[in-house]
Amino acid sequence: CPHRDHRSRGYSDVFSSMAAAPSNVLKRLQKEVAMIASNMPEGCTAGPEDDNMYKWTACVLGPKSSPFAGGKFHLRLTLPKDYPFHPPAITLTTKTYHPNVNNEEGSICIGITRDEEWRPTCTMRDVVQAVYDLLVSPNPDHALDAEIADVYIKDKKKWEKTAREWTKKHANK
């Protein structure tokens, strides 16, 4: 997925832009950027947006084993000032036919990003992996779109067909 991330600039550019951050956050994010560079799930990218270490972009390629195969799903991740003690906020900017996505707001329901499930040991890589996993295995019990969840539960073939159509229409950018 082409987008601006840490690989489009040198590591030193990303890290120099983080100089205003508290040293513990800076060290943590330096480790995360390095981890992402060497250990990201296949088809996924993530990194700081422009020169703001609290704003990240990510892209997840639709898993081959899902109706989202072939799609590119773009995310914005906003880290709180007290990261890693609280989770980032995620906005899915790609319109997606999924029970756990609210297309009006771009919100996505993933357990790891809820305060009660987040742990300071979680990383941005873990967040991107959770989005990938949710594309493979929707969770209609925690739906943000009740109508899509209803189709998923009652007529999975229809849901898969519509999800493929939406992927082709909205997730090829």
* Closest of 31, 101, 26 to residue 60, by C-alpha: 101
Catalytic positions:
109
Q: Model pTM? A: 0.85
Lowest-pLDDT range of 19-33, 68-82, 86-100: 19-33
Average pLDDT for residues 6-11, to the nearest whole number? 40
CA atoms within 13 A on the CB side of 40: 22
Residue 8: what pLDDT?
A: 40
Q: Per-residue pLDDT tens for 91-134?
A: 999 999 999 999 999 999 999 999 899 999 999 999 999 999 99
4 Cβ neighbours under 8 A, 6+ residues apart: 47, 49, 50, 57
